[in-house]
Chain A
Amino acid sequence: DTAVSQTPKYLVTQMGNDKSIKCEQNLGHDTMYWYKQDSKKFLKIMFSYNNKELIINETVPNRFSPKSPDKAHLNLHINSLELGDSAVYFCASSQDRGRNMNTEAFFGQGTRLTVV
């Protein structure tokens, strides 16, 4: 039973295409995230959603559009893919326990996106 699962694991596509990555968590968490990991292993937050509402958008190009149909899912759609979008994308989730109660985030296995 995978806690945070994302599909596909690998995605190779041509420049200009549109693609989606799906994420589901079965932990009952109410906060979900997308992170991007570059070739130097640096992990940077892209989006976070709490109870299906967008909370953080870290100056990500509007070609990236997250969609949260319900608390257990946060999908990432990318339009007009560019070479620089090649990276590993991680979905994560955590439980919001209110102010002063941060909790750890659980990560999926990642989606390696290669744009050619």
Chain B
Amino acid sequence: ELKVEQNPLFLSMQEGKNYTIYCNYSTTSDRLYWYRQDPGKSLESLFVLLSNGAVKQEGRLMASLDTKARLSTLHITAAVHDLSATYFCAVDIDMNRDDKIIFGKGTRLHILP
């Protein structure tokens, strides 16, 4: 059974600190996505990682993918309150040549001023 596990599931941190969210998955894939969800809202695409060693950065967020370790990380640098949200990783697996994405349970990030 394919599993996508995020940790931590909940993170409370101070503004200005750095932290990393981890996403482990249990099957071969070279496509991984990160999404952000604000309370009461839908999911918004943050990063698309399409190969081993891929690294993407947007502002204070940086995502990377290690397909051999089946691990992706989302690193937060010098956190600010606006980054408070729930972050989901999702792994793309081929089902008869069609995409099917499996989501982790999400990491709820709360940044304290």
Interaction A to B: no
B contact set with A: CB distance below 8 Å = none
A contact set with B: CB distance below 8 Å = none
